[in-house]
Amino acid sequence: MGRFRDALSGSGLRGIAEVKRRSPSAGELRADADPAILAAAYERAAAAAVSILVDARFDGSWDDVRAARSTASLPLLAKGFFSTDDDLRRTRDSGADAALLILRDLDDETARRLLGVAAELGLDTLVETHDSEELTRATYLDAPVIGINARDLATFAIDSQAQLGLVASAPRDRIVVAESGIESRAQGAAAELAGANAILVGSALMRASDPAQKLAEVLSRPLVKVCGLTRAEDVAAAAEAGADMAGFVLAEGSPRRAQGVLSVPETMLAVAVEVGESSGAAADLVQLYPREEGKVRGRDAVLLREGNEVAKVLDLPWEESDPAHLERARAAKGRVMLAGGLGPDNVRAAIDAVRPWAVDASSALESAPGVKDHDLIRGYVMAAR
């Protein structure tokens, strides 16, 4: 396993940060981008690797890879339209650790040969796919690291939902990288929950005033969920405050029951909160609690994506307390969404104690059941951050 592949392995979502001065789809992004400065900053921001565009159509060159290598020790991915053995030798000689291979432009015979040459040269590869046919080809070619690009290279259109479907269907014995269209924590988390090991972020970083800070923001955890939303103005307030998930309680008997899942912006994931079984409501995720006789819900829930468990929700018993709640959550394995009595005054201490993947608050943010206090929402999100 090479340095690039190794950096994307393991638990947690990894970030590949890109250096890109312009793109054919977006035009000029950051004309003065200095790969030496950016690569060093990305490394300090905990990037797993740095992607460098070397093609002239992106105002890139091989000197950009050499400049990045002079200041950063993390793995470098050279991105271009590579089709020859010489392209791979140039990749190695520039100091890069991996090369992009775009299956759209390569037949299977050429791709197989290039994968072999890369291995001989000690290079990793990112084999990029755009549809189910290309994903099948990459799997058949035994590509260790598969990129799934949400951007159609012919039309430049982004289809994130199609990308997430492909990520979810990719073989789990490969490293899967979600590419393009990721600008927020929620979008990165959507790729993570679909099964991506890493995300490649380019244009969003290049447009940011501080690219490294933007990278850290997209990768930061915990995610922040505001639950018990019943009004569009409260969803808007949660989004403006920087919350990542909006929860809509659909369970009968809850004082915070919503009429349905409301529309949320692209910076948020919609979560349907249900009891017993899912109703099939249109939401990104379902937070499903067990039924418990005499109560609205049981204690803990599971977070589901298309019926598959992707996280545990560790909560307090219904309308009861548990002094050992944080200790129990701290001992849990895997992704944990921490819930139960959280608000602006205690969420930071809970995060420090548990280090959860996400936090969830509802009643502590209200002026009345189902009616949110916008100041409390802002305070909660700020404290969680």
Which residues are marked as active site?
18, 20, 79, 128, 149, 179-180
- What is the identity of the amino acid at 301? A
Long-range contact list for 29-35, CB < 8 A, 24+ apart?
Answer: 29/203, 29/206, 29/207, 30/206, 30/207, 30/211, 31/59, 33/206, 34/67, 35/64, 35/65, 35/67, 35/68
Residues 150 and 178: beta-carbon distance below 8 Å: yes
**83-136-5 Cα angle (round to 5):** 65
Residues 111 and 85: beta-carbon distance below 8 Å: no
Residues 45 and 201: beta-carbon distance below 8 Å: no
Six-digit token pair at 383?
């404290």
Output b/e per residue, 152-180; b: 16+ Cβ within 10 A.
bbeeeebbbeebbebbbebeeebbbbbbb
Residues near 326 by Cβ (< 8 Å), separated by ≥ 6?
A: 338, 350, 353, 354
- What is the identity of the amino acid at 72? A
Nearest residue to 383 via CA among 356, 354, 337, 345: 345
- What is the identity of the amino acid at 269? L
CB neighbourhood size of 86 (10 A): 10
Cα–Cα distance, 98 to 144 (Å, whole number): 12
